[in-house]
Amino acid sequence: MTTEKSINFDTQKLIVSNDIWKAELWFENINAENKIIKANNYSKIIDLSEKDYLGSLLAIKTTNNLGEYNNCLITGIDGGTYLHDGDKIDKCQSVKLLDNNLILSTGFTFFSFNIEKQEIEWKLRPDISEVFEFYDLQDDFLLRGELEIHRIDINGNIKWSYGGKDIWVNIDGKKEVCIENDKIKLTDFESNIYVIDFNGNTLKKHPTFIVGENRKNWWKFWK
């Protein structure tokens, strides 16, 4: 697989490819000052929202090894989105090209887009808040949501969800999710550590006690 990416959170571009497809993705935030995506340039438009929410845009151009291509525009994306694929060092990803499907984590929605059919095969909003990156876990995906960690199979079924004392966003720079051999190490906002197995069962908990520090709760941190 080859990748090409550019980082600008208002307008993002990512290119991923495998032996079958090359997929070029452009993300445009609803509040972006410089608009680059025009709806009339795409042969198919899919609304990701369920309430006709305008939202952000994701343009997908896919080309196969015969040179045939398709353009699709996905609208109605709500929440923050950061297009990135996994590498050997940082194995988390928000985009994965798996055979004929693009697996994507955007804002509040985790979904699978079939390139051949040019349609969304499944989509889910597993967290009541945003979802971030996901990891490969055996034949499934391990998705980090803000409130819960979710194991999801290739057909979009949630096998289990796991919540901690706080949200799964750590402001001290510690990695929230680490998959280690046959277990998963999780770190929450307060740097509490949880070790769970691949079935979502808790093996160990390591609470963090901060002596002499009155730390804000996560919901007060951005105020």
Per residue in 139-151, pLDDT tens? 999 999 999 999 9
Give residue-wise pLDDT tens across range 104-138: 999 999 999 999 999 999 999 999 999 999 999 99
The average pLDDT across 191-208 equals 92
**C-alpha–C-alpha distance, residues 10 and 26, integer Å:** 10
Asked if residue 16 and residue 80 are part of one domain, the reply reads yes
Give residue-wise pLDDT tens across range 65-93: 889 999 999 999 999 999 999 876 778 99
Give the position of tokens 């550019």.
Answer: 6
- The phi, psi pair for 220, rounded to 5°, reads -100, -10
Asked if residue 114 and residue 10 are part of one domain, the reply reads yes
Asked if residue 98 and residue 32 are part of one domain, the reply reads yes
Asked if residue 138 and residue 121 are part of one domain, the reply reads no
Q: Is 219 helix (H, G, I), strand (E, B) or coil?
A: helix
Asked if residue 132 and residue 76 are part of one domain, the reply reads no
Contact residues for 136 (Cβ-Cβ < 8 A; gap 6+): 86, 91, 96, 142
Token pair of 197 as six digits: 């197995």
End-to-end CA distance of the chain: 42
Asked if residue 71 and residue 115 are part of one domain, the reply reads yes
Domain end (from 125, 145, 163): 125
Contact residues for 10 (Cβ-Cβ < 8 A; gap 6+): 28, 29, 31, 32, 33, 34
Domain end (from 94, 125, 156): 125
The CA distances from residue 6 to 2, 23, 24, 29, 83, in Å, are 14, 14, 12, 15, 9
Residues of the domain holding 50: 1-125
For 90, other C-beta atoms within 10 Å of its C-beta total 11
Sheet with 109-114, side-by-side order of all strands: 95-98, 101-106, 109-114, 119-124
**C-alpha–C-alpha distance, residues 43 and 22, integer Å:** 18
The reported pTM is: 0.88
**C-alpha–C-alpha distance, residues 110 and 48, integer Å:** 10
The average pLDDT across 199-219 equals 65
Give residue-wise pLDDT tens across range 8-65: 678 999 999 999 999 999 999 998 888 888 878 899 999 998 776 789 999 999 999 8
